[in-house]
A and B are shown apart, each in its own frame.
Chain A
Amino acid sequence: MAFEGIGASVKRREDGRFLAGRGHYVDDMNRPGQVYAAIRRSDRPHARIKSIDSSAAAAAPGVIAVYTGADMAADGIGGLPCGWQIHNKDGSPMAEPMHPVLATGKVRHVGDPIAVVIAETKAQAKDAAELLVIDFEDLPGVADIRAASAPGAPLVHDEVAGNVCYDWHIGDKGAVDAAFARAKHVVKLDLVNNRLIPNAMEPRAALGECDVSGHYTLSTTSQNPHVIRLLMGAFVLHIPEHKLRIIAPDVGGGFGSKIYHYAEEAIVTWAAGKLRRPVKWTAERSESFMSDAHGRDHVSHAEMAVDEEGHFLALRVSTLANMGAYLSTFAPSVPTYLYATLLAGVYKTPAIYAEVKAIFTNTVPVDAYRGAGRPEAAFLLERLVDVVAQETGIDRVELRRKNFIPADAYPYQTPVALQYDSGNHEMTLAEALKAADYAGFPARRAEAARRGKLRGIGISTYLEACGIAPSHVAGALGARAGLYEVANIRVHPTGSVTVFTGAHSHGQGHETTFAQLVADQLGVPFDQVDVVHGDTGEIPFGMGTYGSRSLAVGGSAMVKAMDKIIAKGKRIAAHLMEASVEDIEFKDGAFRVAGTDKAKALAEISLAAYVPHNYPIEELEPGLEETAFYDPKNFTYPGGCHVCEVEIDPETGVTKVVNFVAVDDVGRVINPMIVEGQVQGGVAQGIGQALLEGAAYDANGQLLSGSFMDYTMPRADNLPNITVGTEITLCTHNPLGSKGCGEVGAIGSPPAVINAVVDALKDYGVRHIDMPATPEKIWSIIAANRPKMAAE
Chain B
Amino acid sequence: MYDFAYQKPASVADAVKLLAGDAEAKLLAGGQTFIPVLKQRLNKPSAVIDLAGLKLSGISVSANSVTIGAMTTHATVARSAEVKKAIPGLAMLASWIGDNQVRHRGTIGGSLANNDPSACYPAAVLALGAVIKTNKRAIKADDFFQGMFTTALEPDEIITAVEFPLPVEKSAYEKFRQPASRYAMVGVFVAKGPAGVRVAVTGAGQNGVFRVPEMEAALAKSWSPDAIAGVKVSPEGLNSDIHGSAAYRAHLITVMAKRAVAAA
Contact = CB atoms under 8 A, between A and B. Distances in A.
Interface of A: 123, 126-127, 130, 286, 651-652, 692, 696, 704-705, 708-713, 774-776, 779-780, 783
Interface in B130-160: none
A779 B243 CA distance: 13
Given A651-B255, A696-B242, A774 B179 contact: yes
Contacts of B1: 123
Contact of B242 (A123, A127, A705, A708): A705
A775 B252 CA distance: 11
Task: Tell me whether chain B's interface is mostly helix, strand or loop, or mixed.
Answer: loop
Contacts of B181: 708-710
Given A127-B2, A652-B255, A783-B251, A776 B245 contact: yes
B248 interface: yes
Nearest to A130: B41
Nearest to A696: B242
B62 interface: no
A712 B179 contact: yes
Given A123-B3, A711-B180, A652 B252 contact: yes
Contact of B180 (A126, A127, A651, A708): A708
B176 interface: yes
A383 B251 CA distance: 30
Nearest to B258: A651
A783 B40 CA distance: 40
A710 B244 CA distance: 12
Nearest to B179: A712
Given A127-B2, A652-B255, A696-B242, A776 B248 contact: yes
B243 A776 contact: yes
A710 B242 contact: yes
Cβ-closest 10 pairs across A and B = A712-B180, A709-B181, A712-B179, A776-B248, A696-B242, A651-B255, A776-B244, A710-B180, A704-B242, A711-B180
Contacts of A783: 251
A452 to B, nearest CB: 12
Interface in B1-46: 1-3, 40-41
Interface in B149-198: 176, 179-181
Contacts of A779: 248, 251
Contacts of A710: 180-181, 242-243
Contacts of B2: 127
A651 B252 CA distance: 8
Interface residues of B, number: 17
A130 B44 CA distance: 13
Main secondary structure on A side of the interface with B: loop
A38 to B, nearest CB: 11
B95 to A, nearest CB: 15
Nearest to B252: A652
A692 B179 CA distance: 8
Interface in B226-264: 242-245, 248, 251-252, 255
Contacts of A123: 1, 3
B58 to A, nearest CB: 31
Contacts of B252: 652
Contacts of A705: 180, 242
B247 to A, nearest CB: 9
Counting chain A CB atoms within 10 Å of each CB, which of B41, B180, B244, B245 scores highest?
Answer: B180
Contacts of B179: 692, 712, 774-775
A578 B179 CA distance: 73
A652 B176 CA distance: 9
A12 B248 CA distance: 46
Nearest to A705: B242
A709 B176 CA distance: 15
A713 B179 CA distance: 9
A286 B40 CA distance: 9
Contacts of A286: 40
A774 B180 CA distance: 11
B238 to A, nearest CB: 13
Contacts of A774: 179, 243
Contacts of B248: 775-776, 779-780
A783 B176 CA distance: 18
Given A126-B41, A711-B180, 19 more contacts: A123-B3, A127-B2, A130-B41, A651-B255, A652-B252, A692-B179, A704-B242, A705-B180, A708-B180, A710-B180, A710-B181, A712-B179, A713-B180, A774-B179, A775-B248, A776-B244, A776-B248, A780-B248, A783-B251
A324 B186 CA distance: 34
A694 to B, nearest CB: 8
29 contacts: A123-B1, A123-B3, A126-B41, A127-B2, A286-B40, A651-B255, A652-B176, A652-B255, A696-B242, A708-B180, A709-B180, A709-B181, A710-B242, A710-B243, A711-B180, A712-B179, A712-B180, A713-B180, A774-B179, A774-B243, A775-B179, A775-B244, A775-B248, A776-B243, A776-B245, A776-B248, A779-B251, A780-B248, A783-B251
A783 B254 CA distance: 14
A712 to B, nearest CB: 4
B54 to A, nearest CB: 29
A712 B255 CA distance: 23
A710 B1 CA distance: 22
A726 to B, nearest CB: 32
Nearest to A772: B179
A783 to B, nearest CB: 7
A775 B249 CA distance: 11
Contacts of B245: 776
B233 to A, nearest CB: 15
A775 B248 CA distance: 9
A774 B252 CA distance: 14
Q: Which of B242, B243, B244, B251 has the most C-beta atoms of chain A within 10 angstroms of its own C-beta?
A: B242
B89 to A, nearest CB: 20
A127 B1 CA distance: 9
B1 to A, nearest CB: 8
Nearest to B254: A651
B48 to A, nearest CB: 16
Nearest to B244: A776
Nearest to B40: A286
A747 to B, nearest CB: 24
A651 B3 CA distance: 49
A555 B181 CA distance: 41
Interface centre among A705, A710, A776, by most chain B C-beta atoms within 10 angstroms, is A776
A775 B179 CA distance: 9
Contacts of A126: 41
A712 B243 CA distance: 10
B226 to A, nearest CB: 14
Contacts of A775: 179, 244, 248
A710 B176 CA distance: 15
A679 B238 CA distance: 41
Nearest to A709: B181
A341 to B, nearest CB: 34
A286 B1 CA distance: 14
A551 B174 CA distance: 49
Contacts of B251: 779, 783
Contacts of A711: 180
Contacts of A704: 242
Kindly name the residue among A130, A705, A779, A780 whose own CB sees the greatest number of chain B CB atoms within 10 A: A779
A186 B233 CA distance: 44
Nearest to B259: A651
A126 B245 CA distance: 37
A132 to B, nearest CB: 15
B135 to A, nearest CB: 32
A712 B41 CA distance: 23
A780 B248 CA distance: 8
Nearest to A694: B242
A651 B259 CA distance: 11
Contacts of B255: 651-652
A783 B248 CA distance: 10
Contacts of B244: 775-776
Contacts of B180: 705, 708-713
Contacts of A652: 176, 252, 255
